[in-house]
A and B are shown apart, each in its own frame.
Chain A
Amino acid sequence: MIADALWLTVRLALTTSVLLILLCLPLAAWLATTRSRLKPWVEALVALPLVLPPTVLGFYLLLFMSPNQGVGRWWFEQFDQTLAFSFWGLVLGSMVYSLPFVLQPLQRTLEAQGRGLSETAYTLGANRWQTFLSIRLPLAIPGFVAAFVLGVAHTVGEFGVVLMIGGNIPGQTQVLSILLFDQVESLNYALAHRLSAGLVVTSLLVLVGLYRWNRHATVRVGT
Chain B
Amino acid sequence: MKFFIHHQPSGLTSVRFEGEFEAGARVALLGHSGAGKTTLMRYLSGLERRGSVRIETGAGKNPVPWRSDVVYLHQSPIMFAHHRVEQTMAFAQRFARQEQLPIRRWADMLELTELWSRPCTELSGGQQQRVALLRGLMTGKPWLLLDEAFSALDGARLLRACDVVEDFCRLTGAGLILASHQDRPQRILCNEAYVVNHLSGQHEPNLFTALNRRAGEPRKTTLKVEAEHTEHGFLRTDCGGVPLYVAVPERWREGSARVSIAAGDVSIAIGAEHQTSMVNRLPVNVQQISDWEGRVLLSLSIGSQTLEAIISKFSAERLALQVHQPVFAEFKVGAVEWNGQIECTESV
**Residues in A lying within 8 Å of B, measured CB to CB:** 116-117, 119-128, 130, 134-135, 138-139, 220-223
Contact = CB atoms under 8 A, between A and B. Distances in A.
19 contacts: A116-B76, A117-B78, A117-B80, A119-B65, A120-B74, A122-B46, A122-B66, A123-B45, A123-B47, A125-B66, A125-B95, A126-B94, A127-B64, A127-B66, A220-B81, A221-B82, A222-B79, A222-B119, A222-B122
B53 interface: no
B135 interface: yes
Chain A contact residues: helix, strand, loop or mixed: helix
B203 to A, nearest CB: 25
Contact of A123 (B70, B96, B121): B70
B253 to A, nearest CB: 32
B109 interface: no
Given A119-B65, A126-B66, A221 B72 contact: no
Nearest to B132: A120
A124 B139 contact: yes
Contact of A135 (B64, B80, B141): B80
A61 to B, nearest CB: 39
B119 A124 contact: no
Nearest to A116: B78
A139 B66 CA distance: 20
Given A126-B66, A127-B66, A222-B119, A120 B91 contact: no
Contacts of B70: 123
A124 B78 contact: no
A138 B66 contact: no
A134 B82 CA distance: 10
A220 to B, nearest CB: 8
Contact of B71 (A117, A124, A127, A220): A124
B9 to A, nearest CB: 13
